[in-house]
């Protein structure tokens, strides 16, 4: 089981603000990193699957970067909207069995 | 494509009772997962199937939890008897990737279990 840290645990921003959060994980035996968005009363939705060091992925106003050598990934949201309010989960895969280990998530609240 | 179907959405039971959850994954997805998400924690993998074989059940409390995947498609997760600490959201997910790494997981809406 990997030690996965997500920070901050929660944050409140105003509509239009840009924000970012961090996912830290062990850098050894890395295979992939997943980001998911989980809105209340809905199912977790995949945002990105990243595998290569230096990867940058973008989906609309959301983007992510990956540094496998130092063991972290950043998720950025540009111009936050109330509909971005959700818990953002990261899940790296590493070790001998490829299993994804989820972090506790970052709860984002965007105030109109 | 139809998503991952789970039922029921909510369940309230008393401790020591039994409960079962059902999951129908996306058609063609070989890998199926059951996760337990306790409030304030990240989802924890309980069991992973590839087709109808178990790949990983190292975190499944086998004295009370059991799971099966019928004919490599639908799956059921059972708890018998339930304890208070089993109160959680139980998520089913499926994936096209046989290792469950390079393809995203597709989740169902989950079952919120409350044990009183």
Q: Digits of tens for pLDDT over chain B (116 positions)? A: 689 999 999 999 999 999 999 999 999 998 999 999 999 999 999 999 998 899 999 999 999 999 999 888 999 999 999 999 999 999 999 998 776 678 899 999 999 999 99
A94 and A1 Cβ atoms separated by less than 8 Å: no
CA–CA gap between residue A68 and residue A25 (Å, rounded): 9
Q: Kindly tell me if the per-residue pLDDT of A24 is higher than 70.
A: yes
| B101 vs A contacts (CB less than 8 Å) | 31-32, 93, 98, 100
Confidence band for A77, pLDDT divided at 50, 70 and 90: very high
Contact B101 A98 (CB under 8 A): yes
Q: Is B113 exposed, middle or buried (0-12, 13-18, 19+ CB in 10 A)?
A: buried
Q: Least CB-CB distance to B107: which of A4, A32, A43?
A: A43
Q: Which of B32, B40, B42 to mutate to test the interface with A (most CBs of A within 10 A)?
A: B42
B interface residues, A as partner, C-beta within 8 Å: 3-4, 35, 40-45, 48, 56, 91, 93, 99-110
Contact A43 B91 (CB under 8 A): yes
């Amino acid at each position: 089981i990997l030690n996965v840290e997500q920070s901050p645990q929660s944050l409140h921003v105003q509509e239009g603000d840009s924000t970012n959060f961090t996912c830290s994980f062990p850098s050894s035996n890395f295979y992939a990193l997943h980001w998911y968005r989980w809105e209340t009363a809905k199912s977790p939705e995949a945002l990105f699957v990243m595998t290569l060091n230096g990867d940058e992925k973008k989906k609309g106003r959301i983007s992510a970067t990956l540094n496998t050598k130092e063991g972290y990934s950043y998720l950025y949201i540009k111009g936050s909207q109330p509909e971005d309010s959700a818990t953002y989960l990261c899940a790296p895969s590493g070790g001998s069995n490829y299993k994804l280990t989820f972090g506790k998530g970052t709860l984002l609240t965007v105030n109109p | 494509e139809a998503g991952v179907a789970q039922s029921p959405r909510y369940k309230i039971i008393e401790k020591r009772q039994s409960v079962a959850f059902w999951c129908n994954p996306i058609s063609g997805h070989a890998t199926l997962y059951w996760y337990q998400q306790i409030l304030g924690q990240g989802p924890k993998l309980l069991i992973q199937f590839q087709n109808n074989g178990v790949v990983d059940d190292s975190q499944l409390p086998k004295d009370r939890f059991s799971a099966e995947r019928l004919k490599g498609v639908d799956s059921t997760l059972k708890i018998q008897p339930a304890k208070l600490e089993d109160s959680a959201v139980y998520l089913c997910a499926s994936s096209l990737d046989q290792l469950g790494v390079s393809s995203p997981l597709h989740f169902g809406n989950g079952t919120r279990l409350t044990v009183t």
